[in-house]
Amino acid sequence: MAFDIEMIKKLYTEMPAKVNAARTALGRPLTLSEKILFSHLHSDQPLSSFERGKHYVDFAPDRVAMQDATAQMALLQFMQAGRPKVAVPSTVHCDHLITAKVEAKQDLQVANTESKEVYDFLASVSNKYGIGFWKPGAGIIHQVVLENYAFPGGMMIGTDSHTVNAGGLGMIAIGVGGADACDVMAGLPWELKWPKLIGIKLTGKLSGWTAPKDVILKVAGILTVKGGTGAIVEYFGEGATSMSCTGKGTICNMGAEIGATTSTFGYDASMSRYLTATGRADIATAADAVKDYLTADPEVYANPSQYFDEVIELDLSTLEPHLNGPFTPDLATPISKMKEVAAANGWPTKVEVGLIGSCTNSSYEDISRAVSLAKQLDAKGLKLAAEFKITPGSEQVRYTIARDGFLEVFQSVGADVFANACGPCIGMWDRVGAEKKEKNTIVHSFNRNFAKRADGNPNTYAFVASPELVTALAIAGDLTFNPITDTLTNDKGEQVKLDEPTGWELPVRGYAVEDAGYQAPAADGSGVSIAVDPASKRLQLLDPFAAWDGNDLKSLKLLIKAKGKCTTDHISMAGPWLKFRGHLDNISNNMLIGAVNFYNEKTDTIKNQLTGEYGPVPATQRAYKAAGIGTIVVGDENYGEGSSREHAAMEPRHLGVRVVLTKSFARIHETNLKKQGMLALTFNDKSDYDKIQEDDSVDVVGLTSFTPGTPLTLVFHHADGSQDTVVANHTYNQQQIDWFKAGAALNIIRKQVAGA
Ligand code: MIC
Ligand code: SF4
């Protein structure tokens, strides 16, 4: 039986009336996204015809999921909120803190020792507050959610940008910072700007070497890393229904890479099959009874341009396998063009390592298709030319693929099987030789490939592809190998071709697992106490941030003007720093160390205006803090792209940065900054970015009359005595302005609870 089935049945019972009321209010057919949004309006939110991209609307999500690296901060905040229990079903998943080094069992043991303090903390907080706990080794949050918690028509939030993966099972699932999760767990409404809608019509059918991954790799190439910002992407058409549910998950997962709020698919037979195979036939039966409400009205898909803000059509029958990268997930190259593109760009073409798995691509189908290639090696007289690593997404998948002999095949060709965890996807990969910083190429089936992300080496060129293409490239050892047309030389000197990959959507003998790794919370957790050692290097209780003092901000110093791409990996690196995710002061020592200083093109080398000397960003900021001087960070386009980690907002807040002024923001990061009481502003005129000089002092004018819709003014005083006045836009609504004034959103919740 499914978890929380009563909650799901209640939602389905109420959904028709809510959707019908919304259809009447709008006077037109509804998209699936709208149906789910309207049926999750918070009870205090009146129904209205909300303007896309404009109105902030309050929602009541059905559930919350958190992974260990972000849960620490989310739960440290929740503990301050003063509630006895979470208000909606919530779960914690231990997946980010396991280093991939030798193989699964050994690596897991090391993590259990190294991160014991954090795991114990998360387990006891979960136990106390009624949160389901998934132990280290249980799997990656998004796979475990897809297998156990996602359901068609539901709405969830999660403290990880790839929460959107659950769109594969027809949800609206959205990545958020911990403070948002804290609100929902505390029973407060969750606010989102009513999204724009992008429709993607999939015609034709996937075949041969092309996989669901190629759909999103192609879409990322079209829309770029910011093309989905503020929008829900809704997929439909015969190509959508003919695809597996887990394949849909892959497509939704990487919607995070185009900045989309989320992506989703209408309920169909593939979802019903997946629900049944994962032991949730009860949800499938309940969903069947309201199936018209779990997809768009037929008029919408018949005439999409009338209902979506943008429509893209893709023919799956002609779609080619793609490789996206290096250093950004939207640089899409069809495999047939890789030879010329790599040569033109000077990309190293020898593939050193192929890695499959991650939250994006570790389904039974993915693994079975990859294994169909590995199986050919022996018969064709071939060997792997590159190293090959597998990270299964969940214990259920791992157990099932072990039972079905797949792991044995991988091991027989020399592959390593890592723990069911994020591992190499997030820099938790103890890669031999990475410290030498040699230029090299890897291919993986993960979702992100920002600089240094997998192994910490800035010279690793990482390309993203489907698991089957990654496997083929690991066999060939060559980035330009096109398995559709090219041959390989075998041990007899003959030219051989790989046969097309084949696999199974779902395990023929069903999924199986011995211990899935779940720990239910205590029925009454009031007696559970939570201890945090004040001397701990990994956990630190939070002190509330100070409220605004009521004055305009004067004489802030420019901390850094970041040049080009500045993702959350650049602002708060993961990998070796993940161990400090529960300790705000310690993790603040990585603040902006990956951002490129506009003035010298270096990372982590900025001018301290007090001494005139150049030094690391965190130390320089600490010097300003010690001197009681606030600072401003200036950024480029899509600042804060990537992850949901609110550390990227809390660190600057903690160290005394007051303003982040950019050409544009990624959605989650902008909200995180607001939640933590920072000023997140954008240039009204993007060319004003060029006016900012290295020795600038800055005044922020207009805060005493800070109002929604009215820009603020920033005066930049240059070293030569001249000044520039810059108009800075903002998207704060009244409530968000109150967060700024209170010092952080949490300060308001705390007051509300104390007053209740
Ligand atoms: C990521 O893929 O970047 C992460 C690591 O999963 C992050 C969350 C985190 O930083 O803890 C994300 O995607 O939100
Ligand atoms: Fe983990 Fe990578 Fe997925 Fe993030 S993208 S949740 S690090 S597997």
In this prediction, what percent of the chain has a pLDDT beyond 70? 99
Which residue among the candidates 358, 363, 643, 644 is catalytic per the annotation?
643
Q: Which helix (H) or strand (E) holds 390?
A: strand 387-391
The average pLDDT across 71-80 equals: 96
645 is catalytic: yes
Q: Quick check: CB of 422 below 6 Å from ligand 2? A: yes
Of 153, 156, 162, 214, which Cα lies nearest the Cα of 184? 156
Q: Please report the DSSP string for 93-161 in residue order.
A: E--TT--BSS-HHHHHHHHHHHTHHHHHHHHHHHHHHT-EEE-TTSB-HHHHHHHHT--TT-EEEEESG
Q: 426 alpha carbon to ligand 2 midpoint, in Å?
A: 6
Handedness of CA 150, 151, 157, 161 (dihedral sign): positive
pLDDT tens-digit readout, 635-690: 999 999 999 999 999 999 999 999 999 999 999 999 999 999 999 999 999 999 99
| Confidence bin at 201 (pLDDT 50/70/90) | very high
Cα–Cα distance, 578 to 70 (Å, whole number): 9
418 Cβ neighbours under 8 A, 6+ residues apart: 100, 103, 104, 107, 357, 389, 390, 391, 424
Q: 643 alpha carbon to ligand 1 midpoint, in Å?
A: 5
The average pLDDT across 63-92 equals: 96
- DSSP one-letter code for 362: -
Q: Which helix (H) or strand (E) holds 723?
A: strand 723-729
Contact 566, 595 (CB under 8 A): yes
pLDDT (0 to 100) of residue 531: 85
Nearest atom in ligand 2 to the alpha carbon of residue 95 is 1
Token code pair at residue 106 = 């050994």
Contact 194, 232 (CB under 8 A): no
Cα–Cα distance, 580 to 80 (Å, whole number): 20
Instruction: Give the Cβ contact number of residue 725 at 10 Å.
Output: 12
For residue 121, report the phi and psi dihedrals to the nearest 5 degrees.
-60, -50
432 Cβ neighbours under 8 A, 6+ residues apart: none
The average pLDDT across 620-625 equals: 98
Whole-model pTM? 0.97
Cα–Cα distance, 263 to 312 (Å, whole number): 14
Residue 257 has pLDDT above 80, yes or no: yes
Instruction: Give the Cβ contact number of residue 85 at 10 Å.
Output: 15
Q: Quick check: CB of 115 below 6 Å from ligand 2? A: no
pLDDT (0 to 100) of residue 81: 87
pLDDT (0 to 100) of residue 755: 63
- Minimum-distance ligand to the CA of 645? 1
The average pLDDT across 225-233 equals: 96
Handedness of CA 271, 277, 279, 282 (dihedral sign): positive
Q: 575 alpha carbon to ligand 1 midpoint, in Å?
A: 10
For residue 330, report the phi and psi dihedrals to the nearest 5 degrees.
-105, 5
pLDDT tens-digit readout, 553-577: 999 999 999 999 999 999 999 999 9
| Confidence bin at 485 (pLDDT 50/70/90) | very high
| Confidence bin at 754 (pLDDT 50/70/90) | low
pLDDT (0 to 100) of residue 751: 77
| C-alpha dist (Å) from residue 654 to 516, 546, 585, 618 | 38, 10, 8, 11
**How do 310-315 and 351-357 pair as beta strands?**
unpaired
Q: 445 alpha carbon to ligand 2 midpoint, in Å?
A: 11
Strand ranges (DSSP E) for 528-637? 553-561, 606-607, 614-615, 631-635
The residue contributing the CA closest to ligand 1 atom 3 is 643
Mean pLDDT of all residues in the chain?
97
| C-alpha dist (Å) from residue 739 to 190, 546, 594, 671 | 14, 11, 28, 11
pLDDT (0 to 100) of residue 114: 97
Q: Quick check: CB of 359 below 6 Å from ligand 2? A: yes
Contact 352, 322 (CB under 8 A): no
Residue 753 has pLDDT above 70, yes or no: no
Token code pair at residue 331 = 């640089």
